[in-house]
Amino acid sequence: MSVLVVGTTALDSIKTPKKENPKLLGGSASHAAVAASFFAPTRLVGVVGGDFPAKYIRLYEKHGLCLKGLDRVKDGRTFHWSGEYEVNMNNRRTLETVLGVIEHWQPAIPGDYESCPYVLLANIAPAVQLRVLDQVARPKFVVADTMDLWLNIALDDVMRLLKRIDCLVLNDSEARQLTEDDNVVSALPKIHRMGPRYVIIKKGEHGSILSSPKGLFVAPAYPLKKVVDPTGAGDSFVGGLMGYLASRKSGSIDSNLRRAIVHGAVVASFCCEGFGLTVTTKVSREDIDARVRELESIAGLD
Amino acid sequence: MSVLVVGTTALDSIKTPKKENPKLLGGSASHAAVAASFFAPTRLVGVVGGDFPAKYIRLYEKHGLCLKGLDRVKDGRTFHWSGEYEVNMNNRRTLETVLGVIEHWQPAIPGDYESCPYVLLANIAPAVQLRVLDQVARPKFVVADTMDLWLNIALDDVMRLLKRIDCLVLNDSEARQLTEDDNVVSALPKIHRMGPRYVIIKKGEHGSILSSPKGLFVAPAYPLKKVVDPTGAGDSFVGGLMGYLASRKSGSIDSNLRRAIVHGAVVASFCCEGFGLTVTTKVSREDIDARVRELESIAGLD
């Protein structure tokens, strides 16, 4: 089955202590859709400006993404984020954000996308995420990602969104902010009460925690010897997770979600090994499957 | 088989934002030996002063600890540590340390302890840990814990110790300090080159990482809704781990170590649920086994 991914399509300029990388392909939807495409047919809904390089369109196409829902505003500028990482790669500082064409974008879901069973609302304004939900027929599984910015400036929209999704993905500091609870484990039931039956808390190098009707699942991250650029890792994680779920021919969401999380974690690990999408777009499904087997063995008791 | 535990036996005064607890039973050897005692006969080597309450001796005895190696200095003062936790329980500040009888203590290992197969050098000055190793015959498995203090003031002793132990247990910031490597995964081979075949990195609520000849094992922590006092959790972890290893009648260290880590993590989780040893000394082996099953299911893929 197919995955519909909505989110930002961006140009990212990323500075690390060692390197500067201008105008890489970035954005939550780019990372998530490429990650999902390893497992299932993926439809990308987003918006770019006239400055969006043709080579990035070709990169999307190389991954078989359906681009019917990618708006192209010829006289507009693509959303541009620039940021800087500190030596330990854990602290990120935004240097500049140019919203460009994304500022007034109203996504229109192509007619034949409406029945897409897996809907991934990657990180973007919750008003946009809600607008997408208004246009799709009862999907089988809706996952939304968010970020601290929306908790700060659009909390009402986030709360409305939470009532309409199956699963919320957020990082540990966002979970603390949303619930005003210092302990992420006790924050989980509070988030469930806001709406979603499934909550996944991302903890970066420390893995993730899933809270579901089946209980908790503590998932490891793939232990990386070197992190080059973690930008997009969370988007890759949730994209890989949704792609894997959509690829399952049998089993319930509950029975597939743990392995889906492991697959998402593996795509995220590749993402961290290069700037932007440079490594993710070079790996194969076989590379992913091999690392999944490795991670399963690293986390197994026997 | 039995476990020999050497380390500090202390009185801890622990302040948290909510409560003040004077003169609790504490010290690395107290936590580690009680944890080990759930699984295997345990021998405690340490030193206390005349102020050490008889009720704490009875508590040791209740756990079946052999106290032949517990030196009692009638006219001395027991090692006393007092510290304070911040709201999030992750930041700890030492308020006062009174070394007392521990300052000039030279441990003497009772004759019939010399052949003890499992030796746990819980956190104490590395000179003391080395002195213990001088007195034991070829143990089957020697684990040492350490702390940032010894890396700062007794690094040469730590480096000597590393050549004589099988397994080093340390936390992630200590691993970074010891190797001057920001990435704990790439720090691991550097620690192996210093001596130990096994290295376990403790990450608190994020679990632990074992690096062994069999490769990596990423172990979860038990997800606690409430942490009352994490003091001694690391000691409980390594104590539980050693006790479990000593209790195994079959299998190699390699084949038992992953489950040993899970058992250690569970004892540590109980430790965090109360001040000092108050909860750890109230649970039963059945409580531990039930939580081990729960943690295995929380971390399992199916």
Cα angle: A294, vertex A295, A296; to 5 degrees: 90
| pLDDT above 80 (res B241) | yes
Task: With residue B98 as reference, give the H or E element that holds it.
Answer: strand B92-98
* Residue A301 confidence (pLDDT): 87
**Model's pTM, two decimal places?**
0.95
ipTM: 0.92
How close is the nearest chain A Cα to the Cα of B160, in Å? 27
The residue segments making up the domain with residue B287 are: 3-299
Backbone phi, psi, residue B236, to 5°: -65, -40
| pLDDT above 70 (res B217) | yes
Contact (CB, 8 A) for B152 and B37: no
* Residue A90 confidence (pLDDT): 67
* Residue A41 confidence (pLDDT): 98
pLDDT (average), residues B161-169: 98
* Residue A210 confidence (pLDDT): 98
**pLDDT range class, residue B16, cuts 50, 70, 90:** confident
| pLDDT above 70 (res B231) | yes
The 10 Å CB-count burial string (b at 16+, else e) for B85-121 is: beeebeeeeeeeeeebbbeebebebeeebeebbbbbb
Backbone phi, psi, residue B72, to 5°: -120, 115
pLDDT (average), residues B63-87: 94
| pLDDT above 70 (res B29) | yes
Looking at the structure of chain B, the number of domains it has is: 1
Q: Which two tokens stand for residue B130?
A: 């080395």
Contact (CB, 8 A) for B119 and B132: yes
* Residue B233 confidence (pLDDT): 97
Burial class (CB in 10 A: 0-12, 13-18, 19+), A18: exposed
- CB contacts of A227 in chain B (<8 Å) are 183
Q: By a Cβ cutoff of 8 Å, what residues of chain A touch chain B? A: 87-89, 182-183, 185-186, 203, 206-207, 209, 215-218, 220-221, 223-227, 258-259, 262, 296-302
pLDDT digits (tens, 9 = 90+) for B112-136: 898 899 999 999 999 999 999 999 9
* Residue B92 confidence (pLDDT): 80
How close is the nearest chain A Cα to the Cα of B283, in Å? 22
Q: Which two tokens stand for residue B151?
A: 């890396």
How close is the nearest chain A Cα to the Cα of B170, in Å? 17
Contact (CB, 8 A) for B210 and B238: no
CB pairs under 8 A between A and B: 72
Residue in the structure block whose two tokens are 């790439």:
B186
Q: What is the rounded end-to-end Cα distance, in angstroms, of chain A?
A: 34
Query: Averaged in consecutive runs of 10 residues, what is the pLDDT profile of chain A (302 residues)?
Result: 97 87 95 98 98 97 97 97 81 88 94 93 97 94 96 97 98 97 96 98 97 96 94 97 97 95 98 96 98 96 83
Cβ separation A258–B301 shorter than 8 A: yes
Domain CATH code at residue B139: 3.40.1190.20
Q: By a Cβ cutoff of 8 Å, what residues of chain B touch chain A? A: 87-89, 182-183, 185-186, 203, 206-207, 209, 215-218, 220-221, 223-227, 258-259, 262, 296-302
